[in-house]
Structure 1
Amino acid sequence: MKAISVSLLVAAGLLSAGVAQAADESALAKQKGCLACHAPDKKVVGPAYGWIAKKYTAADTAKLAEKVQKGGGGVWAKQLGAAIPMPANNVTPDEAKRLVTWLLSLPKLDYPK
């Protein structure tokens, strides 16, 4: 019985740590201006985070982190109806990786038809 209680406490701690980290990354996205062009579930200027999370996997983290830092464009032009490139962002490599890891952990959404 004691082992079950300890296991439940550890699991609760890990879950709360994950929620706290997600809140930190969401705050970082806001601080760095990401939310000016992106939203979790709808197009703003750029694609919804949920669409990006569905299109890419953790294996794409380095490539996406580089795009966050250096900017990029053209990937979503057909879906969004415009080729507005994402500008370079003032983030460190670690911040870019944290943002991408957080983004990829968000609910995956189908692009609306």
Structure 2
Amino acid sequence: MIRPLIVPFVAVFVATAVSAAHAEPAVDAARAQDLARQHACFGCHAIDKKLVGPAYRDVAARYAGKPGALATLVAHVQNGSSGVWGAVPMPPNRLSAADAQTVVQWILAGSKTN
């Protein structure tokens, strides 16, 4: 009688543990926004509308679920890019790899504000 109740419980427990092990680290939105302000990212980008560059939410949508998206976007932030979103190139930015990763993680997580 108890066995039919335990099997579903164990299955849910294992699935939860596996998904938690693969969860992305928490994004420090306040720090990411501060970094974006300090490095003038908001001069060309906005959260929800295109300025010179794409809206951060459009970036998140384009790269959602793509393997290597974080590394690709960190490289774009640090080295600049051209032709990805049109004719206007993105210049390189002087962010450390760790700071660029913080900002990109925030963008990919939906650019939520505090």
In the superposition, the TM-score normalised over structure 2's length comes to: 0.69
CA displacement 1:3-49 (0-9 Å, x = unmatched): xxxxxxxxxxxxxxx68x21111111111111000000111100000
Which of residues 37, 45, 49 is equivalent to 2:52? 45
Q: Is the radius of gyration larger for structure 1 or structure 2?
A: 2
Equivalent pairs counted in the alignment come to: 84
Q: Percent identity?
A: 44
Partner residue in 2 for 1:4: none
In structure 1, runs of 5+ residues without a counterpart are 1-17, 78-82, 108-113
State how far apart, in whole Å, the 2-side matches of 1:28 and 1:57 are. Answer: 22
- 4+ residue stretches of structure 1 with deviation over 2 A? none
State how far apart, in whole Å, the 2-side matches of 1:32 and 1:106 are. Answer: 19
Which of residues 90, 102, 105 is equivalent to 2:106? 102
Matched to 1:98, the amino acid is T
Which of residues 22, 25, 31 is equivalent to 2:32? 25
Matched to 1:33, the amino acid is A
Partner residue in 1 for 2:10: none
State how far apart, in whole Å, the 2-side matches of 1:42 and 1:89 are. Answer: 21
Which of residues 83, 91, 94 is equivalent to 1:74? 83
State how far apart, in whole Å, the 1-side matches of 2:76 and 2:51 are. Answer: 18
In structure 2, runs of 5+ residues without a counterpart are 1-25
State how far apart, in whole Å, the 2-side matches of 1:106 and 1:31 are. Answer: 20
> Which of the pair is proportionally richer in helix?
1
Coordinate RMSD, CA, aligned: 1.6
